[in-house]
Structure 1
């Protein structure tokens, strides 16, 4: 299997090639657990079983898709074991608080990644990094990613994936040391919405929605405690999918604070659909664009309504939330930063502001390339029909002048 992976990586074998079944790694949950040397709890075992059953019956995996899924499952199992073993060895990890974490959420493609990266320039902020979700470890003070072998390895992996998924780097420009989304943390217990982005998993998705996300976010807190290594900090966390996990977040982090980023849904849906298509291409042999369009539009109609509901929750005081509009963030990012810091009583130090300014100068628009708007029609979506279904959200958050 290692030889086949290397051949794929070097381009000698196409990602969607037909190869003998005996060459391919197995994906049976019990075999994966045994191969990883881990001992996940019953909740994670059941989630892994549900995920693999869904993928094997509902996704038509490419050769690369099968090999990468095998590698990914082993990695996640081993990483979770590492985190849980560290907690058993050092109970003090669980005693270190994760106080008032700041969650960035909202519609995808609305500037949440850009905002997360800007806030990560403040050395008083803690963010999970891409490499830390692949090779979990604390990030030391004065860390130099250029000299770290783990970072170098993840950057190589990102370059390989970009070659297999043309367009990915333009849609989601990241490096190994970039801030990572929380779905990569909850994936370690196989209860993550990220699997739906890369695979066709309707039965797993339905199971996860019914099961809920509480166990996943309990592990999420363990993961953050492991990364902060007894030295609590101010966590800044980001994922559009937080929109669908707010109940679990509030149970695990009852003092959480929230930045909600808004954008005209019609401006983002085609981009979300295209990113889903780009992400799935290396893993799947067959992709239905109309199905992706329907899935993405229904999901974010639901998400927009959940954001409206969240604004009315009595258990989240107004001072624990701030609304930001994409146009404001794109046009005057430092003014938005100043407003967020002021809202939550966080000192905005000159050093942090200077670091954010340098990042904006180095990566205008967050590093995203300018391009013509993506087409809704490619995904069999009707702009007029969508506009009708987003009316309540647009009236509340996308009126003239912003939120």
Structure 2
């Protein structure tokens, strides 16, 4: 069987064939990609399904580079775009980041990174034209197929093609991103990633946003749980970012994540994956993210506003008003109407269909002791709250 490290050229050729583009841009990404390939050789995927999934993850990141580079070449004016005071939602996974992101996206004063564009960054076309784009239709079809194949996964976390999505996939273009360690069992890569400075990845992402939002001018609304880990790099790339951090009992958030991520990994592998191994990786990674985000908030407390997960549906207008008041953001009458419509469609008693097994608090709580104490997180929302 061909070693992964020997597939370097073939993987690039696959991305070229998929996109029709040939320019991958600067070569800084090659180090991370080679580390990833070595990691796959060190711990080879078990079976053809996992191998195909790994190939898809890598080729997808390379294809994203190609599409982005083609966009930069076609629209050199992107470099002059300014990204000022972006509103960035962060937090441990399954703490309400998606729900809050979607709530805030109701304000037409924001622009976000729609899901179909995260894999195919281009200057955002007018909304009424999206149906004519093969990339948009393919995204719609993939989501529908996923819903048929894994309804329990989609019940846990589902974003439609035309809805705002998180930053992780476009950041994978740098091959310095949690995207790979969260999708693949690659301890060698994970160790390299954790010890690396993510600032180059965030700076590239900033330029990707400039391309997508070329000529738009609205404030950016971004979201990604992994930004708790990369918070220092995020603030280096976006020095005036306004940070909204969500919070929940880590034992509950990690249990929910185990269900979601375990389901995705099972689907990719075609068989159940080792949950203990997965739990050890995720709990350790997110505990370090919690520590880093607390340290960043200590250095610049005015840059952060903290939101408890259970408040997002219990009092969404109160949450929005806190955020807007803290950062001095204007709220239009139109935005308020849209926020209230979201609240009506997502009432406090609406229960998620996502159900999951709890994890032993003793396996999680000691890692998050300072974080739990700071935010009083043992009075969190029950299972099934919005994630």
| Counterpart in the other structure of 2:384 | none
Distance 1:114 1:172 in 2: 10
Deviates more, 1:82-91 or 1:301-310: 82-91
CA distance in structure 2 between the aligned counterparts of 1:65 and 1:368, rounded to whole angstroms: 33
Hey, what's the Cα distance between the residues in 1 that align with 2:86 and 2:349?
Answer: 23
Q: Which residue of 2 aligns with 1:114?
A: 99
Matches within 5 A, 1:169-248: 169-248=154-233
Offset at residue 254 of structure 1 (A):
1.1
Determine if the alignment matches structure 1 residue 291 to structure 2 residue 291: no
What is the TM-score with the length of structure 1 in the denominator?
Answer: 0.84
The verdict on how the C-alpha distance between 1:364 and 1:169 changes in structure 2, with shifts beyond 3 A counting, is: farther
Tell me, in whole angstroms, the C-alpha distance in 2 between the residues paired with 1:304 and 1:113. Answer: 18
Residue 33 of structure 1 corresponds to 12
Partner of 1:330: 313
Distance 1:97 1:308 in 2: 28
Q: Is the alpha carbon distance of 1:368 and 1:61 closer, same or farther for their aligned partners in structure 2, counting shifts above 3 Å?
A: farther
Q: Per the alignment, in what secondary structure is the counterpart of residue 307 of structure 2? A: strand
Cα deviation, residue 68, structure 1: 4.1
1:357 corresponding residue in structure 2: 340
What is the CA-CA distance between 1:148 and the residue it aligns to?
A: 5.5
Say which is worse superposed, 46-55 or 97-106, in terms of deviation.
46-55
Contact 2:372 2:378 in 1 (8 A): no
Shift of residue 291, structure 1, vs aligned partner? 0.8
RMSD, aligned α-carbons? 2.7
C-alpha displacement at 1:224, in angstroms?
A: 0.1
Which secondary structure does the structure 2 equivalent of 1:324 belong to? strand
Q: Cα offset for 1:309? A: 1.4
In the alignment, which residue of structure 1 is the partner of 2:72? 87
Decide whether the 8 Å contact of 1:197 with 1:279 is kept in 2.
Answer: no
1:33-52 paired onto structure 2 within 5 Å: 33-35=12-14, 36=16, 37-52=22-37
- Farther-moved stretch of structure 1 (109-118 vs 71-80): 71-80
Within 1, Cα distance between the matches of 2:66 and 2:340?
39
Corresponding residue for residue 15 of structure 1:
none
Which residue number corresponds to residue 151 of structure 1?
A: 136
Match of 2:371 in 1: 393
| TM-score of the superposed pair, with normalisation by structure 2 | 0.87
CA distance in 2, matches of 1:171, 1:59: 28
Structure 1 contact 325–398 (Cα < 8 Å) conserved: no
Tell me the distance in 1 between the aligned counterparts of 2:320 and 2:224.
18
Report the Cα distance in structure 1 between the residues aligned to 2:235 and 2:264, rounded to whole angstroms: 30
Evaluate the alpha carbon distance shift between residue 304 and residue 329 of structure 1 in structure 2; reply closer, same or farther with a 3 A threshold: same
Q: CA deviation at 1:34?
A: 3.3
SS in 1 for 2:310: helix
Give the alignment partner of residue 340 of structure 1, picking from 323, 334, 353. 323
1:257 equivalent in alignment to 2:242: yes
Q: What is the SS of the residue equivalent to 1:357?
A: helix
Distance 1:206 1:92, change over 3 A: same
Is 1:310 the equivalent of 2:303? Answer: no
Displacement of 1:144 in angstroms is: 6.5
Q: CA deviation at 1:356?
A: 2.6
Cα distance 1:126–1:366, how it changes in 2: closer, same or farther (>3 A)? Answer: farther
Task: Give the drift of 1:75.
Answer: 3.6
Query: Which secondary structure does the structure 2 equivalent of 1:94 belong to?
Result: helix
Query: Partner of 1:13 in structure 2?
Result: none
Unaligned runs of 5+ in 2: 17-21, 381-387
Name the residue aligned to 1:104: 89
Q: How far has the Cα of 1:89 moved from its partner?
A: 4.2
Give the Å deviation of 1:392.
1.8
Contact 1:111/1:330 (<8 A) preserved: no
Deviation sequence 1:128-182 (CA, Å, 0-9, x none): 1110012322334554756765333212112223344452111102211121111
**In the TM superposition, what is the alpha-carbon distance from 1:189 to its structure 2 partner?**
2.1
Distance in 2, matches of 1:143 and 1:61, equals 44
Return the offset for 1:371: 5.3
The superposition leaves residues 239-264 of structure 1 with CA deviations (integer Å, 9 ceiling, x where unpaired) of: 11001111211221111110011111
SS of equivalent residue, structure 2 residue 69: helix
- Pair 1:202–1:401, CA change in 2 (3 A): closer
